[in-house]
Chain A
Amino acid sequence: MDIETLARGLHPLEIRVLRACPERGEAEEKQVRSEAGLEEGQFRRAVQWLLSKEIVAVVREEVVETIRLTELGKAFAAKGTPEMQLLARAAAMPGLTVPECTAGFDLPEEEVRAAFGKLRKLDALRIAGGGVELNQGADIGPFERVSALIARLAGQAGAALAALPADEQETVRSLVHKRMRAKGVFYLERATNLVFALTAAGAEVRAKAFALGLRGEEVSRLTPEMLRDGSWRGKTFRKYSVDFAPPRRVLARRHPYREFLDFVKSKLTSMGFVEMRGPLVECEFWNMDALFMPQFHAAREIHDAYFVKAPTHAARLEPDFLAQVAAAHENGGESGGRGWRYTFDRERTRRLVLRTQGTALSARQLGLGALVPGRYFAMARCFRPDTVDATHACDFFQCEGIALGEEINFRTLLGLLALFATEVAKAEEVKFVPAYFPFTEPSVEAHIRHPRLGWIELGGAGIFRPEVTYPLGVKAPVLAWGLGLDRMAMVALKINDIRELFSRDLDALRTRRLELELY
């Protein structure tokens, strides 16, 4: 930044500090501050800003130790130190017993006892015959000096330790951390006093600011009062440093994973798909039987669906296609096939489970009456018993749907998948491989070349078997598809753990963003 921009961008506080700074040589923090007439907080902020802009530089930091009296020290100042008081009493009333001699002072008892002990140790007091006596020959100079120092400090807010004579400094240090005393007599406050100086550039900025007539009196905030009374006229507004990092705000936002699902939904509706919804608790009939999954199918065992504890069975099937679906399983019914050839369990079909696949909604839609031509999709919460870890969820979303129409055939199936690949997954390339689903024939899996992930599976699809559609009264071909979105969502959210799609950490939710261009 050039000198003028820097000068114009100075905060009024900064200008006031610069005005108080000597043009050349060192400036001591305390002095500058008192000259600038700033409060400590304001002053420190301004100096920090100047330092960060390299207008001033630190020459050195001086540690300043200031002594103050503690509450105890103040009591000594008011009433005399216990040592001096004991000496005075012993001189005035020789021969007192020890308790008599130490009683009746308006000072903490332990202080008096400690002082008495010290005086005895230095032989200033003696216990002889009748009681306590003063030793006239003892040197009581140190006690007098401490007493005088306390008296002197009592008049001041604080004194610089360095300004005291060496022997007094030593006395102070010894009484700050004095043992056996709950509180010392003196506080010793350590503060750093910054010594700084203008940098070469800083001197130019300062000169420039003065030349521009900046006095540190520019208007910082435009207030409603100024607007009302027009007092803003003729004033200069301080220019801001616009590249300062702003403070972070806590904002309210959509959940990033839902934002992703919303995006996919908008894509699907734009392609002519109508949303389907349905119950979380589903009966096996819609979840599996209507989809021609035989009741002995391996994917219907206890470890592949969550079964509801109570009630265990649906009261009835709504709408009721039991006879038709049972016939499809047993002998093909009217579908033109021969069926799985087993006895369909009409009780088990009402067994309640947590929906395991979004295709259950497609089956329901066919039963409820689907338009031909018609396109439907669901963003359905599904459940599978699984041990939850970074790559497995037991409660997740599936994106599935159907398309009905006389024009539906294997090629239009691939056409729709290719459309999903470009529209939803932004894939550059798509390839199709044979797959198996109990409810579709032919079945296909679409693999896409993703710009970041390489070849991944986009989803599975197929043409519903007539054993699925005929019993539900649908004669037109129906294409069924499902898309695997989680990996794409995780890329767009920059997460590696599937559990974080449903993160409970508010801090993460407040800062995680969806980067749709990434996936």
Chain B
Amino acid sequence: MPTISCSERDLLALIGEELDRDRLLSLLPLAKASFDGEEDGKLRIELQDTNRPDLWSCEGIARQIRARLRGALPAYPFFRARPPRAGGRIEVDAGLAAIRPIVGAFIARGVRVDEATLVQIIQTQEKLCEGYGHKRREAAMGVYDASAIAFPVRYRAARPEEARFVPLGFEEPMTLEEILREHPKGREYRRLVEACPRYPLLEDAAGTVLSFPPIINSRALGEVAVGDDNLFVEVTGHDLQVVALVLNIMACNFADRGWKIVPITAVYPYDTAAGREVTIPMDIACTLEVPLAGINQALGLTLAGKEVRELLRAYGVAAQLKPRGIVRATAPAYRADYMHPADVIEDIAICRGYDGFAPLMPAAFTVGGLAPSTLFADRVRQELVGYGFQEVFSNVLMSREEARTRLRIDAPLVEIENYVADTYAVVRDRLLVSLLRVEAASTKAQYPHQIFEVGEVAVYDEAAVHGSRTEDRAAALMASGEAGFSDMHSYLDALMYFLARDYRLESRDAPFAIEGRAAVVRVGDKEVGVIAELHPEVLTAWGLEAPAAYFEINLSALA
């Protein structure tokens, strides 16, 4: 979830009303935002909705609150503006179709950039491109001083060793290849382009490089400073919807601060989702038709059509009432999250305020209960506590060394490919390991030790659909100067008696047991467990100071 910081003053100025702190915080839920404290005199605000990038900025939060306070739709005339005359254009090369096909841009002018705005531009750019744009893969943004650019701008596919320019942060011209190799941003993002034979490049009509998208801007044009009042904002990516959404959000953010937005048209030699001439900002608004009855049923209310229309409007959504009780809701062009009527219904609920709903107890009668496997497992737990065994409860992730080497076992088990620490790298396939982990940490605890665990293990099994079986197991271990096979045999015998299972032991050595002091437990023709006196080498490997014997039963096979 993105977290942004913004100044309270700036936020209130954008909302356009003087609100005290409590009132301001009480309005944050409208933007699925929560106050996360203050830092350096700024508010830290966490945004919940990963599908609403328009809210990930001071301007976006203010916009959502402003709509509610004014009950009116914000006006962004540029979404319906006519394409500009030739000049403010981007010409796209055919070669980009297979590399990074989409580019879009607009110009914002008329206000001077101040320090606060600059910080917000950079923050929003980072949230949109790193978060929503999947680390620049789907959206990479450049902001430039438009006054220095000679239009039309050209978006072309350049050979890695051919094009040269001075990237931000460096003094000398470098080829695109050198940038990927030596520039910190080049190293960070090169995976996005290095597989391509040619790289994307933005140049102006005079041949001056704007940037090497999605890597780095040029020093010549790609550096915005306080005082600039004419900005060129450009985004490249793969999906026109995403590129347009990001630019629409940026355009609205500038407009909210009083900037005038001038659209730019990109001209493609290939087809895009919106044809070969695409003007940005672009109206990508999505309209959904929702029956009023469905809204009321989902919310448990009896709202009139007009109330729904007003609530949607106060949430920034244009709504029309159609015949036969249909509500036509059109999301604003800075949102792309309308996928289903349910999304419209949530907007109505949020705008109305969750605290305005009276909770209602579901009245239907249902019979509750634990799963049969849990009931059986709980029975076994009760038995073992009664026999004098202390219950333990463990993590099921552990190191391979614990689950294998220290038990002298070498069978496959469920391993994690992308583990973070090798102490949490495999899933236990027997409870013995968990019991030994307790013993290893408890050599100072008064003996005798009698411990048990009932819990899940994942047993590697190539024949199983998921390559493993999850089993409920019960295992008990005794450690003391006198502990031995026959002690645990007595407890196993009692357990099987009270569970009413006829069992027999069949002598079979186990790698972790003393030779001749291990057996498998059989019920009918099924092997359901193991009983063993642990081998001194195993005890030593675990750093244990007392002899130990144990049994382990597969409850899933026994139930």
Contact = CB atoms under 8 A, between A and B. Distances in A.
A258, A306, A419 — which one has the most chain B CB atoms within 10 A of its CB?
A306
Interface string B295-309: 001111100000000
B465 A381 contact: no
Interface in A210-266: 250-255, 257-258, 262, 265
Given A385-B420, A506-B438, A258 B393 contact: yes
B364 A280 contact: no
Given A302-B418, A383-B397, A466-B342, A311 B462 contact: yes
Interface string A287-322: 000000000111100110011111110111010000
A307 B297 CA distance: 41
Contacts of B470: 278-281
Nearest to A316: B465
Contacts of B364: 373, 405, 407
Contact of A467 (B340, B412, B468): B340
Interface in A431-447: 431-436, 438, 441-445
Interface stretch (B76-84, B98-106, B444-452): B444-452
B341 interface: yes
B393 A252 contact: no
Contacts of A268: 368
Given A371-B366, A435-B32, A436-B32, A275 B390 contact: no
A278, A283, A394 — which one has the most chain B CB atoms within 10 A of its CB?
A394
B292 to A, nearest CB: 15
B354 A444 contact: yes
Contact of A502 (B48, B342, B354, B394): B394
Given A253-B391, A394-B424, A416-B362, A506 B449 contact: yes
Contacts of B359: 411-412, 414-415, 417-418
A413 to B, nearest CB: 8
B362, B393, B412, B415 — which one has the most chain A CB atoms within 10 A of its CB?
B362
B343 A441 contact: yes
Interface residues of B, number: 94
B360 interface: yes
A293 to B, nearest CB: 10
A411 B357 contact: yes
A505 interface: yes
B369 A275 contact: yes
Contact of A269 (B363, B369, B395): B369
A387 B421 contact: yes
A361 to B, nearest CB: 11
Contact of A254 (B32, B355, B381, B394): B381
B300 A298 contact: no
A338 B368 contact: no
Contacts of B384: 252
Interface string B20-62: 0000000001101010000000000000111110000000000
A308 B368 contact: no
A394 B345 contact: no
Contacts of A381: 396, 456
Of the four ranges (under 10, 10 to 19, 20 to 34, 35 or more), the interface on chain A belongs to: 35 or more
Contact of A410 (B51, B349, B366, B388): B349
A332 B440 CA distance: 54
A504 B345 contact: no
Contacts of B192: none
B50 A443 contact: no
A339 B337 CA distance: 10
Interface in A352-390: 352, 354, 371, 373-375, 381, 383, 385-388
A147 interface: no
Contacts of A282: 466
B393 A336 contact: no
Contacts of B446: 250, 507
Given A306-B418, A442-B345, A506-B445, A255 B361 contact: no
A276 interface: yes
A371, A411, A419 — which one has the most chain B CB atoms within 10 A of its CB?
A411
B396 to A, nearest CB: 6
Interface of B: 29-30, 32, 34, 48-52, 131, 134, 286, 297-301, 339-343, 345-346, 349-350, 354-355, 357-371, 373-374, 378, 381, 384-397, 412, 414-421, 423-424, 427, 437-442, 444-446, 449-451, 456, 458, 462, 465-470
Of all A-B residue pairs in the complex, the 6 with the closest CB atoms, nearest first, are A337-B340, A411-B300, A506-B442, A373-B364, A442-B346, A272-B366
Given A252-B385, A255-B393, A308-B467, 14 more contacts: A252-B390, A275-B371, A280-B427, A281-B470, A310-B467, A332-B339, A337-B339, A339-B339, A411-B299, A414-B354, A434-B354, A438-B51, A441-B345, A506-B445
